[in-house]
Structure 1
Amino acid sequence: MHSLFLRVSVVILSVVIAAACSGRGYEQKVPDYIMEIENVTVFSEEDFENADTIRLIKDQEFGDSDDLFFANVRGFITDDSGRVYIWDIAPGTLTIHLFSSDGDYITSLGRSGRGPGEFNSICCLNVRSNRLYVVDIALSRITTYSTDSFELLETVSIDLNNLNSAGQLSGKRFWRHYFIDDETRLLAYKVPQRAFENTPATIHYFTADSAYQELGEEVLKQNDVLENWGDSNMGSIMKQFSFQKKPLITVTPTGRIFIADSDELLIRELNKEGDEIGGFYYPVPRIPVTREDVRNSANEMIMNIAESVELPKVWPIMQSMWSDDNERLWISTFTETEDELEWWVIETDGELIGKFRWPGDREAPLYINGSTFTHIQGDYFYTREEDAETGLQTVVRYRVERVTE
């Protein structure tokens, strides 16, 4: 399964050069503190300037039909056979739609409610060992379906009384769920930011057993994006800006944990005890932040926040980080263009496989908890697309090719 995509050779040097040009503002020198970190490989600008080009070729759509209309696609995953599970969330709608790899609609799973096979929220879907796991953050439970028969197998509650026996979760709310292996889970709990305070929310990660009866030690703590508060005619309002630093985390299918802060392309790997066991760094040139950037991301209601918020000198480097089933990291980075991102595809040891430019909104909401708008499996890249005129949403599969000189 360790494919490096279909390789296509080209002799037109300008293709590679054009893909390598970033148009970024400030050059980036390697900070001293990076050089002092153990087990981190530091790459040079030469290591990414002439990267191979990744090409995406549209292959299949999964979307609205005469029998199905998406209310609000909030995420999607695939299984080993290429079937696509799309979760659809809107007032009164909480369900998972299942499509074949050819785009044919198969069935739906679940609905809004509190009974067996019903959800108050949908998050963090995972397919393992012929089972589909669906996390319900609101009800603190995991619903499991067979991917062979699609029947409901079991519902397991996350027992907060047992998990919080040592008081580690006091003042925290359930936030995210990850699989480390068949016996171990990684649970994220959040301490919210207080209104009008300048201390960001914190996200705390703990290991737990598969029965959710025993909570391990805290293995990681991340600061969330700072909330910026202000007043309006409607009362207190809050805004988080995309130029602010945010935490990133991805867990590979084999349970490897990778973390980062979006302001540096510094990726660190943790083991399940929380020890740093590796990582890598790229000195990516930076893009200046201007007050006009902030105004462009604000409406009239929050303009006073946009005018007063403290600006960093430069944009963060990364917008998102994902992992695929072959242990590769897919990192979207900001560019000088508001409606375009540059994606880096990287081996977990830091070796750059290739890059590509792709449409993306620099001012897009930072994230919606439980949402997954990008998924990569095998040699396919899945993304959500929306028709600007009709608002209709589809999940689109692209075939990935690596173009080499």
Structure 2
Amino acid sequence: MKQWFLLLFIIIVIWGCSLQEKDQLPKRLQKLKNLTVYSANEKPREVISFKKNTVYGDSKKVLIGSMGDIAVDSLGRVFIVDVQNQAIHVFQPDGQFIAQFGREGKGPSEFGFIKSLQIRKNRLYAFDSKQQKVSIFMLDTLAGDKTILLAQNRGKYQALQRAYPSIDKLYVRNNNTYVAEFILDSSPKKIKWQNFETKGLCYLLGNTGKIVSKKLIDLKKATRTLFAWPNSEALLGLHLKPFFGNALTVLSSDNSIYWAGPDYFLIKIYSPDGAYQDAFYYPHKKIPLTRESAIEAGIRDLYIRNMESMDLPRTWPVLTEMKIDDQDRLWIATTVEDMHVYEWWVLENTGELLAKFSWSRKEPIEEIKNGYMYTRETVEETGLQQIIRYRIEMN
């Protein structure tokens, strides 16, 4: 009889926990198809640690004016954008400087503004957002392969007639094609501190750079605010990312698209052609957005002074960053009560929790590859930035 009571007790506890988790799921998400809901008390399978390994940056041979995006190839070489000079610096895995290529200009291997670097197979792709082109370099020789003008046929697509005239982000796929993200806003009235929504319109580009498909995905991108600059009547639609967050997108090795918004720990998965497949969700505590927490988080004084005038959300973004490593594991940064750090979650691409760790907000994680994590850190004495490599250990 005692065994029956014990079994009944266990069933009630499990049933109660499942109800509690279901209650935590927002109503707007409960009708989402193929949704996996994980427990808020999910335990990591692994313990993760990091060991500082190598530093990349300024040296006697190279001076990087201002660091932009970075990329790491399969050999462990590190490519760093020099924003000031529109050049790309290359370092050996041990931190030794190898070469520099590229410069400001409009010709081959010249740039207006290098917004992102991506590596696919044996090529480096440098996206120039100012000139709307991608320059491709061979990794074995570092020589320029070709330059592709992007979305020159965008005028044929009606939805893009209301978009900004340029591609905001470019995602390189593993078959020499691209996903281009255009931005569409709601054309707000010119009212000081007014918020307005922007959408990301994603289209598939072929290997010649032309749009070759209908719209892949149409999702909320970010909230912008008509920010009033001090001593000026000019209003600028500014993305106050620390307060509102933004949509996060990564591509896996099979070109599947992973998307997350800032409001919930919800990851949606789309096929390479933009069809929704499934999603997973973790209940996650939301942290109240206050002036005190903004100060603790290191938000700019200009924003803090104007917080009372802004129409801000009640809570901080739940998710703030999402990366994908070379094993297709997701690395996701979440907001927690300690505003000096983010709590990072390492997940299988199906959502199972592998590990958790805390990392300083001041040291953003840029890349995870070849068993290493690469972060961007600032030397307090000089103000110069460095890329730091850490060996990842899981056990």
- TM-score under structure 1 length normalisation: 0.83
Q: Does structure 1 residue 171 correspond to structure 2 residue 166?
A: no
Check the 8 A contact 2:295/2:304 in 1, yes or no: yes
Q: Does structure 1 residue 184 correspond to structure 2 residue 177?
A: yes
Paired residues, number: 363
How far 1:164 moved relative to its partner? 2.6
How far 1:295 moved relative to its partner? 6.5
In structure 2, the CA distance between the partners of 1:66 and 1:215, relative to structure 1 (3 Å rule), is same
> What is the aligned partner in structure 1 of residue 221 from structure 2?
223
Check the 8 A contact 1:322/1:331 in 2, yes or no: yes
Letter in 1 for 2:171: Y
Q: Does structure 1 residue 83 correspond to structure 2 residue 77?
A: yes
Q: Does structure 1 residue 35 correspond to structure 2 residue 30?
A: yes
In structure 2, the CA distance between the partners of 1:127 and 1:293, relative to structure 1 (3 Å rule), is same
In structure 2, the CA distance between the partners of 1:310 and 1:340, relative to structure 1 (3 Å rule), is same
Q: Does structure 1 residue 325 correspond to structure 2 residue 326?
A: yes
Letter in 2 for 1:206: Y
- TM-score under structure 2 length normalisation: 0.85
In structure 2, the CA distance between the partners of 1:89 and 1:400, relative to structure 1 (3 Å rule), is same
> What is the aligned partner in structure 2 of residue 283 from structure 1?
283
Letter in 1 for 2:108: P
Looking at structure 2, the residues matched to 43 and 179 of structure 1 have their Cα atoms a distance apart, in angstroms, of 31
In structure 2, the CA distance between the partners of 1:305 and 1:290, relative to structure 1 (3 Å rule), is same
Letter in 2 for 1:191: L
Q: Which has the larger Rg?
A: 2
> What is the aligned partner in structure 2 of residue 256 from structure 1?
256
| Stretch deviating more after TM superposition (229-238 or 347-356) | 229-238
Deviations 1:250-283 (A, max 9, x none): 1123312100111111001011332211221000
| Stretch deviating more after TM superposition (285-294 or 331-340) | 285-294
Check the 8 A contact 2:76/2:370 in 1, yes or no: no
Deviations 1:139-165 (A, max 9, x none): 1111111111111121121252x2432
> What is the aligned partner in structure 1 of residue 17 from structure 2?
none
> What is the aligned partner in structure 1 of residue 18 from structure 2?
none
| Stretch deviating more after TM superposition (222-231 or 277-286) | 222-231
How far 1:389 moved relative to its partner? 2.0
SS in 1 for 2:161: coil
Larger relative contact order, structure 1 or 2 (CA cutoff 8 Å, min sep 6): 1
Q: Does structure 1 residue 374 correspond to structure 2 residue 366?
A: yes
| Stretch deviating more after TM superposition (212-221 or 95-104) | 212-221
Looking at structure 1, the residues matched to 205 and 53 of structure 2 have their Cα atoms a distance apart, in angstroms, of 39
Output aligned runs, 1:1-400, within 5 Å: 29-48=24-43, 52-90=46-84, 93-160=85-152, 162-172=153-163, 173-192=166-185, 194=188, 195-196=190-191, 197-221=194-218, 222-230=220-228, 232-238=230-236, 239=238, 240-294=240-294, 301-302=302-303, 305-361=306-362, 374-400=366-392
Unaligned regions of 5+ residues in structure 1, if any? 1-27, 365-371
Letter in 2 for 1:182: N
Looking at structure 1, the residues matched to 350 and 260 of structure 2 have their Cα atoms a distance apart, in angstroms, of 15
Looking at structure 2, the residues matched to 205 and 94 of structure 1 have their Cα atoms a distance apart, in angstroms, of 27
| Stretch deviating more after TM superposition (222-231 or 168-177) | 222-231
> What is the aligned partner in structure 2 of residue 11 from structure 1?
none
How far 1:208 moved relative to its partner? 1.6
Check the 8 A contact 2:245/2:319 in 1, yes or no: no
In structure 2, the CA distance between the partners of 1:280 and 1:33, relative to structure 1 (3 Å rule), is same
Looking at structure 2, the residues matched to 383 and 295 of structure 1 have their Cα atoms a distance apart, in angstroms, of 23
Looking at structure 2, the residues matched to 357 and 295 of structure 1 have their Cα atoms a distance apart, in angstroms, of 19
Letter in 1 for 2:204: T
Deviations 1:61-82 (A, max 9, x none): 1111111122111121111111
SS in 1 for 2:54: strand
| Stretch deviating more after TM superposition (279-288 or 231-240) | 231-240
In structure 2, the CA distance between the partners of 1:118 and 1:308, relative to structure 1 (3 Å rule), is same
How far 1:303 moved relative to its partner? 5.5
Q: Return the structure number with greater helix share.
A: 2
SS in 1 for 2:293: helix
Sequence identity percentage: 28
